[in-house]
Structure 1
Amino acid sequence: MLRAGAASAAVAGVGSLAAACSSGFSSSSSGSKTLKVAIFTDQTQADKMQKAASTFEAAHKGVKVKFIGTTGTDWNDFFSKLLTQISGGNAPDVCCVATEGLQLFAAKGLAEPLDTYVKRDAAELKPYFADVHPALVEAMMYQGHLYELPTDFNAGNMFYNTSLFKSVGVERPADDWTREDFYDIAKKISAKGGNTVGYNWVVRLWGSWTSWMYANGGNLLTEGKWDGGDWLWNTFYPNDPAASGRKGGWRWGDPTANSAPTVESLEYLIQLQKEGISPKPDVGGGTTLQGLFASNKIGMAIGGGFWAGGLHNAGMADDAFDVQYFPKWQSQRHLFGSGGYGIMKSSKNKDLAWEFLKTLVQPKSIDLLIPGNVTTPARKSMLTAERYATTGPKNWQVFYDTLTKFPETAPIPAPPYYQAMAIALNKRTTEAMSSGKAKAALDGLQSDLETAAKTG
């Protein structure tokens, strides 16, 4: 699911896990049931994902899992269509939801909290949590409750074209490279001409000009944390420094879309466009961007682990691109989006759905769900040289190390009114890039978000 956003997201363990389930479901007690799983993709791809349920179905006689695909330009399209299906009485049992929609579904009372299940099966789940960075888990919480088990994520790193770098005499940037370093490289590549640009990006919430905003100390909303969650952190991360300060999920407060660092960030992208270093951006996902990148028309672009599979599928050799951390401005804070599967509150098969969720977070299940490195596995043990040998990039460690090396890295702002926020962001960003007036556009976005926050 995350490969569409943003991202975009491990079954030798599935058989043993299914046999160890403690809910009382067995091959003789499941009965004839169908678990419907909603995912953000087309039905052709959804059908291919059926194999991820084969071991689970074999362990639960009479149970069938049906992956149902829904397409869209971005996550807000998917959520709109899914909400329409739910209001029409056609709700799934399980839904794959990224960071963008977690609070939307939780706040509307559509998602079932997983706390009781996780507490009951804590011993069984400890290996899983030990393999997942706490930042990804916290991003799946809302008002102190856990709603999903993360399967995958994507942090906003910087991909670069190795041949274009070489052609202008530039080596791989240092881990602590700066915005000034980025600018110098992008300007050199743009000077080549021939429709080649040093940098390109897309208009959306994840990995857009918002990555510059995070590095510059800004955000669209006031950051806070919900109370609660101690039971989870004390159970699964008692001695992990990375869990220090974690609470019950991100609490997105008053809008700050026209704050000084946020305005400055968008002004920087306008500057790059005026200088011919970056073209006018498209709205939506990054498929078109990946094609241009693979055609050696782009020197650098923001991308997460899903870009590895995307560039490989676009025909790019694994040594023709590489990845580095996002450059430093006021800080090197990155943004990320995570994905996972949750249980719908309306489901009549919640206990069975929970057993299915536990199989989906096993390494071989994740492999079946996200073949070809189309997103980044949430389980750190799955990021290996062998995994990226087929697609690249050479410095694949950057993907997970972003979470460990930069503790301030955080999820994208995604409050319960995410849909209205995404639409407003796209509109006002496009307005700013056309008019060249970042402050006026972001004053408009501030008003949009204040209205959305009040109306929900």
Structure 2
Amino acid sequence: MKKKGLLSLVSVLILTLLLSACSSGGNSSNAGNGEGSGSSAEKVKLTFTLWGDVNSGANEQTLADEFNAAHPNIEVKFEPVPGDGYGTKLTASLAGGTAPDVFLVGEGDFRSFVDKGVIEPLDDYIAKDDAFDINIFQKSLIDMEKLDGKLYYLPKDFNPLALWYNKKLFDDAKIEYPSADWTWDDMTQAAQKLTKQENGKFTQFGFNAGTWEYPIYTYLWANGTDIANEDGSKAEGFMNGEKTVAAMEKYVALSKGENRVSPTPQDTQTLGGDSSMFMTGKLAMMITGRWVKSDLDKSDVEYGSALIPTGADGTRAGIIAAAGWAVNSKSKHKQEAYELVKWLSGTDAQKLRSKDGLVLPATVTELEAVKSAEQADKAVIEMMDYAQKPVTMRSGNGPLFKDEFTQALEKVLLGRQDMKAALDEAAKNVDAKIK
């Protein structure tokens, strides 16, 4: 009886081990989550990228290390792209089939990458993921990252644009700091008082009316106009509409002539850029994002931030610069890549990136914590309530509008065409290319 019982026990143990071995292999989803895999299972290898170098991406490397520790069956490698040309290099690698499994996309390219078919929609993954709640994120950011009803990105962080001002220059001129009641005309009047010349040479400018399209969009929207219709299918009557032409003539006048209050593009280049001019007391106001805090805080400049001024009728408009993590639609390990995207966008990641104050957390709870403690840059956070989508986020035709509009502006600034002629030509070109 004892021998028979022993044999029976051995048989049961062998059968149990065989069944266990069969059930543990071949499940990439479980391997991605670090669950149910034997130690002999081959690791899933992923790569992810963003613009910048290893130093500027130190937080991402930390997150990669933590992800690897928490997912023993996945090996993640962080490969940032230093220097300029991130979008070009990423597009080339996607076309060549060598792109990373996960990559970062700026809001201006959200639509174009989706239209290329290189971004994996996340809705099905989220629907099957009982442990993930999309509501941890700011709704406005999730809405930005949805295109045609599908969610393609999860947010890294965000930055609303605001009006930044040099307190010392205002104090020296005995001018009150910008207020929430300011219109663009009020700002222009203050800029005139803050602009200085010595011996016919400009030594200080009141405001930077540069060629970057984002501040220009906020100005046009505040004045009731845009360079495109809502769905980005038409430029005629919008880019060259009466309101747009009038508003842009007024905007360009800020940086033209001997009575200008803004540096020309050539002035800005010569003087080292608007941030450098701002910190050295050569520029009193600029519209930009919170990312400038890093350089401002390293300098001795006293600065403040305010809401972007309103149009004459009280309309205020803003814009959000954001970035979103995407899964490569050609990745061999999409489920594991989705797990990585969640990790890079999650609560701990948001806390890590926003601790130095250069960006704002995309998650609701963490942003509320920043709001409760924020004093100096409160206006920056408030500007998110006025954010609108540029045409590059509303339509796949967006880049056509942006490129033609920018070229028209350059022609005007170089004196090659007047505003009406330049915008007429630009609108005609856009509509022809769309057709």
TM-score, reference length from structure 1: 0.77
Q: Deviations over 1:293-350 (max 9, x none)?
A: 111111100112222224224x245xx1111111011411212232110111011111
Distance 1:135 1:211, change over 3 A: same
Inter-partner Cα distance in structure 2 for 1:443 and 1:353: 46
Q: Does 1:70 align with 2:93?
A: no
Q: Deviations over 1:112-171 (max 9, x none)?
A: 111112223366315513xx1x22211111111011122222222111111111111122
Kindly state the Cα deviation for residue 52 of structure 1 after the two structures are TM-superposed: 1.7
Which residue, 103, 108, 111 being the options, matches 1:100? 108
Name 2:23's counterpart in structure 1.
Answer: none
Kindly state the Cα deviation for residue 180 of structure 1 after the two structures are TM-superposed: 2.0
Kindly state the Cα deviation for residue 106 of structure 1 after the two structures are TM-superposed: 1.0
Check the 8 A contact 1:363/1:379 in 2, yes or no: yes
Name 1:341's counterpart in structure 2.
Answer: 325
Name 2:222's counterpart in structure 1.
Answer: 215
RMSD: 3.0
1:119-134 correspondence to structure 2 within 5 Å: 119-121=127-129, 124-126=132-134, 128-129=136-137, 132=138, 134=139
Range that drifts further, 289-298 or 301-310: 301-310
Inter-partner Cα distance in structure 2 for 1:43 and 1:119: 34
Task: Give 5+ residue unaligned stretches, structure 1.
Answer: 1-20, 224-250
Which residue, 95, 100, 112 being the options, matches 2:120? 112
Kindly state the Cα deviation for residue 102 of structure 1 after the two structures are TM-superposed: 0.8
Name 2:428's counterpart in structure 1.
Answer: 447
Name 2:281's counterpart in structure 1.
Answer: 296
Q: Does 1:55 align with 2:54?
A: no
Q: How many residues align?
A: 390
Distance 1:203 1:31, change over 3 A: farther
Name 2:244's counterpart in structure 1.
Answer: 262
Q: In the alignment, residue 300 of structure 1 is paired with which amino acid?
A: M
Kindly state the Cα deviation for residue 93 of structure 1 after the two structures are TM-superposed: 0.9
1:201-240 correspondence to structure 2 within 5 Å: 201-207=209-215, 209-223=216-230
Distance 1:146 1:158, change over 3 A: same
Kindly state the Cα deviation for residue 419 of structure 1 after the two structures are TM-superposed: 4.4
Check the 8 A contact 1:111/1:344 in 2, yes or no: yes
Q: Does 1:91 align with 2:99?
A: yes
Q: In the alignment, residue 277 of structure 2 is paired with which amino acid?
A: L
Query: What SS class does the counterpart of residue 255 from structure 2 fall into?
Result: helix
Distance 1:180 1:22, change over 3 A: farther
Q: Which portions of structure 1, spanning 4 or more consecutive aligned residues, are displaced by more than 6 angstroms?
A: 21-24, 384-389
Q: In the alignment, residue 103 of structure 1 is paired with which amino acid?
A: R
Name 1:17's counterpart in structure 2.
Answer: none
Q: Deviations over 1:228-249 (max 9, x none)?
A: xxxxxxxxxxxxxxxxxxxxxx
Q: Does 1:434 align with 2:414?
A: yes
1:54-453 correspondence to structure 2 within 5 Å: 54-71=65-82, 77-121=85-129, 124-126=132-134, 128-129=136-137, 132=138, 134-191=139-196, 195-207=203-215, 209-223=216-230, 251-255=231-235, 256-274=238-256, 275-281=259-265, 288-313=273-298, 315-317=299-301, 320-329=302-311, 330=313, 331-369=315-353, 372-383=356-367, 394-404=375-385, 406=386, 409-414=387-392, 415-435=395-415, 437-453=418-434
